[in-house]
Amino acid sequence: MYQFSQKFPAKRAFITGAASGLGKAFSIELAQEGWTIGMADINEAELAVAAQEINALGGKALVFQLNVADKQAYKIVAESFLQEVGGIDLLFNNAGVGDGSVFEEYSLENYEWMIGINLMGVVHGCYYFIPTMKQQKSGHILNTASAAAFACSPTMAAYNMTKAAVVALSETLYGELMEHHIQVSSIEPTYFKTNVVQYARGGAFVKKATQHFIDRSGLEAKEVAQEILTRAGNKELYIILPKSARKMWQLKRLAPTWFRKKVTEQFYTAMKKAMKRS
């Protein structure tokens, strides 16, 4: 049993991006321990299928079709969830999109789209649920960032900067919410098997190259979710995984300029290999 299930007997969670990937994996893990889960996603059809699975596993799924970038829609959804379940114990700001392109070739509209989902979606979740957590004097916020926040590979400016911002927001909230007995975790994984690029706008090659890295990762969303839930239960702020990602993080702190050059070299080497396969 996860520590969260013992710490929060009411077992109330709200998860964005819950229809697939890591969000669905979180939902499955919690459902098996009887949690009530507010499952939010932009894809209504996939969300309905995922909710059926959650209910069958012993959870209680409350379904919300939601574009996290829409602050008014998010406000209505958050209020509805809180009214129905009476509070919130775990908030997973997980919805996100992956994409990339050379900096000046990625349109300003695409930057706005990426920021709206990957960053403002997290801001909206925190903004609408933190007041209730403060009233309760309890809760845990898990913000899905990425190892991209510190790796910052070329051609991923929009994604990198939104994920770095999520880390900064998480660090800030960690300090602000400490006295209110609210925990915060910043989730920073490398590639694992998910459909993060399903809405990518950077072109076919971006999708293919990213999928190449995902396929070779060997990591499944289930095992990533299990490790995150375990480590967050231990009150970790930085949940960086797998082991290779933690090594990257340490190297950047010890030798930042060397690390930047190494990441760039490895990125273009990998891209050449991916192009040969395309």
Residues in CB range of 178: below 8 A, 6 or more apart: none
Mean pLDDT score, 184-207: 66
Give the long-range contacts of residues 40-49, CB within 8 A, separation 24 or more.
40/14, 40/15, 40/16, 40/64, 40/65, 40/66, 40/68, 40/77, 40/95, 41/16, 41/17, 41/65, 41/66, 41/95, 42/66, 42/67, 42/68, 42/95, 43/19, 46/19, 46/20, 47/18, 47/19, 49/19
Is residue 159 part of the annotated active site? The answer reads yes
For residue range 33-49, list pLDDT tens digits in order: 999 999 999 999 999 99
Lowest mean pLDDT among 136-145, 201-210, 227-236: 201-210
pLDDT at position 190 is: 87
| CATH for 3-277 (3.40.50.2000, 3.40.50.720, 3.30.950.10, 3.20.10.10) | 3.40.50.720
For residue range 62-110, list pLDDT tens digits in order: 999 999 999 999 999 999 999 999 999 999 999 999 888 889 999 999 9
Lowest mean pLDDT among 35-49, 143-157, 202-216: 202-216
pLDDT at position 278 is: 55
Lowest mean pLDDT among 74-78, 258-262, 264-268: 264-268
Mean pLDDT score, 221-236: 97
- Give percent above pLDDT 70 in the chain: 88
Q: Which two tokens stand for residue 237?
A: 């702020």
**Taking the alpha carbons of 270, 272, 276, 278 in that order, is the dihedral positive or negative?**
positive
Using DSSP, state whether 63 is helix, strand or coil: strand
Lowest mean pLDDT among 140-144, 192-196, 238-242, 270-274: 192-196
pLDDT-derived band at 269 (thresholds 50, 70, 90) equals confident
Catalytic residue (one of 74, 106, 128, 159): 159
Residue-range domain boundaries for the chain = 3-277
Residue 194 has pLDDT above 70, yes or no: no
